[in-house]
Structure 1
Amino acid sequence: MASPYIILNREQWSSLRDSTPLTISDEELASLQGVNESISMTEVSEIYLPLSRLLNLHVGATQELYQASHTFLGTQDAKVPFILGIAGSVAVGKSTTARILQTLLSRWPNHPKVDLVTTDGFLYPNRVLEERGIMKRKGFPESYDLPRFIQFLSDVKSGVPEVSAPVYSHLFYDIVPDQWQTVRQPDILIVEGLNVLQPPRSRNSELIVSDFFDFSIYVDAKEEDIVQWYVERFKLLRQTAFSNPLSYFRRYASLTDEEAVEVATGIWEEINGINLKKNILPTRLRARLILEKGANHSVQRVKLRRL
């Protein structure tokens, strides 16, 4: 059956690195990885370097297109950032993907300033979620302040000199009052989150988040693998983030291995698994590129949408 994607195995994709230099150190890579992820330098060389090369070509082409448009209109508008969206399930490794790409893309000479914003900052505060009775649906589309998010992206794409995004704390599991992340006209803005490829919520919706993207990536894996990664991460967090006396999840720090597996599996089945199947996975085919991971977190296949 015909596919809108060109499907490349790992060897085919790796060959597209061409002569792209490796511009990341072992120490940097270690600092970019998630709690239970182990991304090798081989993975960077074979998967992320070809991807950074592809994105660099897209950024260059987009910059030329903007310049052509300004020449035609006779204008000198403010610099417009290239916006890259990264979507995928909880625990699939999209945050690590975003951080690695941010580092690699910032080493290219034609776009050295690369910012990263996560959609967590656009979640409604816990008090609002509680008032609306959707605290257990945190991460579902309705838990985000979409109008605020759309305005943020619109301002960034319009070349506004400074645009601020709210800050979210995973320690407190809530928006941090009076703290902001300021974006100042980067060359590239990476936007990472669960639902960044969501279609309109209603027929009357005028704009959606992905309307502002110049390129989009979906990080994919089998659900059974993602569940395993989620449970492993939950167990590890007992000795790290959960053990902090200020942590919202402090109550989980003393769980035994058996109890932790039971609690984490229950959370997945009641919340994250439902969100994946109902809201996140259906957006996969909206992405320009899909990274398909195997059980060991390494990418096995890449799907690139045909132009």
Structure 2
Amino acid sequence: MKPYSPYYEFDRKVWAGLRDHTPLPLTDDELQELKGLNDQVSIEEVEEIYLPLTRLLHLYVKASQQLHQMTSSFLHNEAPKVPYIIGIAGSVAVGKSTTARLLQTLLARWDHHRKVDLVTTDGFLYPNAILEKKGIMNKKGFPESYDIKKLLRFIGDVKSGKPEVKAPLYSHLTYDIVEDEQQTIHQPDILIVEGINVLQVNKDAKVFVSDFFDFSIYVDAEEHDIENWYIDRFLLLRRTAFTNRQSYFHPRFGNLTEQESIEASRQIWKEINAKNLHENILPTKRRAQLILTKGADHTIQKIHLRKL
């Protein structure tokens, strides 16, 4: 007898069959715009992996909306519109952002939830000045580098149905919070919250970010594959963003040779990203309701869906 697992496991072929004639509301040109810097996602991947997933999420969102209406009827009150919140977690360079943008686009093309917003937790990092003051600039992305209280206030206000909630913005060019600019959220049908830290817990806290999620996804891959993707992305940035004199990284990495860039990125991975992965990110994987496991070629090979 097999040991009990809290997840249903699907290989790619079986999962693709769950699409159930769901139409493809996405062109190849649109897909190219949604892809991350070095993320390899094909239309076939969208058809076989993301269409079944958006079909499942559509069913969950629709059921949640119906339950909300029935509860309001039972209580004889008109409760404010409450978004369905989806959290997406996983390592640096694993492809979370592409997954989040794809889901945002695809879910917005279903009836019942046309308004889908996406927020990344990068905006809730402390500004560089505060990180430097705290002496944790080299721990950017670790739990202590986030203003968790601000993130909890934001997501709590969204979940309580406030008409307008603002989130801070982050610039990957300047590697810092953007002053005097914010993203405004106006009661969406669905809110996607993407970030490496969204499933993390703190034993000293009474409330976690994930307490507000209706559904959570962890994007997974073998560590050596993620490291290779991180190095590939670093080399691509060396030829693009790092050449921009406004980039935070220009004076640090802009003039490195390719071999020096490989060595620098490998060191950053080992000393920062791998440590964060093992200490803080990977332990949260089994808290997700859905785990998408990628192969070395970036394609999703296995899907684990938590049993109800």
TM bucket by the smaller chain?
over 0.9
Q: Deviations over 1:85-121 (max 9, x none)?
A: 0000000000000000000000001100000000000
Shift in Å, 1:201: 3.8
**8 Å Cα contact 2:168/2:181 also seen in 1:** yes
Does the aligned pair in 1 maintain the 2:18–2:52 contact within 8 Å? yes
Give the percent of matched residue pairs that are identical in Structure 1 and Structure 2.
61
> Partner of 1:130 in structure 2?
132
Identify the match of residue 54 of structure 1 among 53, 56, 68.
56
Q: Which residue matches 2:306?
A: 305
Residue 158 of structure 1 is aligned with which of 157, 160, 167? 160
- In structure 2, C-alpha distance between the alignment counterparts of 1:306 and 1:195, rounded to whole Å: 24
Secondary structure of the residue that 2:119 maps to in structure 1? strand
Q: For residues 103-252 of structure 1, what are the structure 2 equivalents within 5 Å? A: 103-202=105-204, 205-251=205-251, 252=253
SS in 2 for 1:34: coil
| Map of 2:96 onto structure 1 | 94
Q: CA deviation at 1:38?
A: 1.9
Counterpart of 1:291, as a letter, is L
* SS of aligned partner of 1:206: coil
Residue 239 of structure 2 aligns to a residue in which SS? coil
> Is contact 2:198–2:209 with CA below 8 Å preserved after alignment?
yes
**Is the 2:118–2:193 contact (alpha carbons within 8 Å) kept by the matching residues of 1?**
yes
Larger CA deviation: 250-259 vs 54-63 = 250-259
Q: Deviations over 1:33-70 (max 9, x none)?
A: 11111210000000000000000000001001111110
1:254, CA displacement in angstroms? 2.0
Given that 2:40 and 2:299 are in contact with CA atoms closer than 8 Å, whether structure 1 keeps it comes out as no
Residue 165 of structure 1 aligns to which amino acid in structure 2? A
**Structure 2 equivalent of residue 258 of structure 1:** 259
Cα offset, 1:168, TM superposition: 0.4
Partner of 1:271: 272
How large is the Cα RMSD of the aligned pairs? 0.7
Deviation of residue 198 (structure 1)?
0.7
For 2:115 and 2:257, locate their aligned partners in 1 and report how far apart those are by CA, in whole Å.
Answer: 44
Gaps of at least 5 residues in structure 2 are: none
**What does 1:76-87 align with in structure 2 at a 5 Å threshold?**
76-87=78-89
**How far is the alpha carbon of 1:241 from its aligned partner?**
1.1
Q: What does residue 40 of structure 1 align with?
A: 42
Q: How does 1:279-290 map to 2 (within 5 A)?
A: 279-290=280-291
Amino acid at match of 1:47: I
Give the whole-Å Cα distance in 2 for the aligned partners of 1:200 and 1:77.
Answer: 31
Q: Amino acid of the residue matched to residue 229 of structure 2?
A: W
* TM-score, length basis structure 1: 0.98
Give the whole-Å Cα distance in 2 for the aligned partners of 1:102 and 1:136.
32
Q: Quick one: distance in 1 between partners of 2:217 and 2:145?
A: 22
- Number of matched pairs: 305
Counting only pairs closer than 5 Å after superposition, residues 6-25 of structure 1 correspond to structure 2 as 6-25=8-27
| C-alpha deviation, 1:19, in angstroms | 1.2
Paired letter, 1:23: P
For residues 138-194 of structure 1, the C-alpha deviation after alignment (integer angstroms, 9 at most, x for no partner) is: 000010000100000010001100000001000000001111000000000000000
Aligned equivalents of 1:238, 1:173: Cα separation in 2: 15
Q: 1:253 offset after TM fit, Å? A: 1.9
Q: Distance in 2 between matches of 1:122 and 1:110?
A: 30
Amino acid at match of 1:134: I
- Distance in 2 (alpha carbons) for counterparts of 1:124 and 1:284: 25
